Amino acid sequence: MDVVNEKRTQALETYKKKSLKEEEKLQILLKKQYEKEWLDVDYQKITAEQIELQALLHEGWQGDTARGFQAYIEEVQELEQRAWKKELQAQADDLQEELGQVKGKLNQFEEQQARLRKELTS
């Protein structure tokens, strides 16, 4: 029995260490998520400023050449905004997927630890 209990104790320690590593990963990912949320807020502010600048430039521009250039600038800005949004969404999706994986591993380790503790006490 001592050999079996020793193996269970070693396995329990191993799962504790793995859990700690996964918890560290989780904290890092949560920090990344927090930083990404701030990037989203910054992006929204920048977009609002761009819209204001476009409105200001639109009032100041006159003539066909100016209107054509304004249309070009608006088109470029729209493409850049789509690219930014797409990139931010891809990062958010990747982060959520990684968070799910880490949380799943943590749950698995906790279940294994609980099972081992139960086996050790019985």
CA gap 42, 38 in Å, rounded: 6
Q: Phi/psi class of residue 86: alpha, beta or left (left: φ > 0; alpha: ψ in -120 to 50)?
A: alpha
**pLDDT tens string 73-110:** 888 888 998 998 899 899 989 999 999 999 998 888 88
Lowest mean pLDDT among 10-19, 78-87, 113-122: 113-122
| The three-state (H, E, C) secondary structure of 59-101, written as one string | HHCCCHHHHHHHHHHHHHHHHHHHHHHHHHHHHHHHHHHHHHH
- The answer to whether the predicted template modeling score (pTM) of the entire model surpasses 0.95 is no
What is the pLDDT at residue 61? 65
At residue 39 the predicted structure's pLDDT band, cuts being 50, 70 and 90, is confident
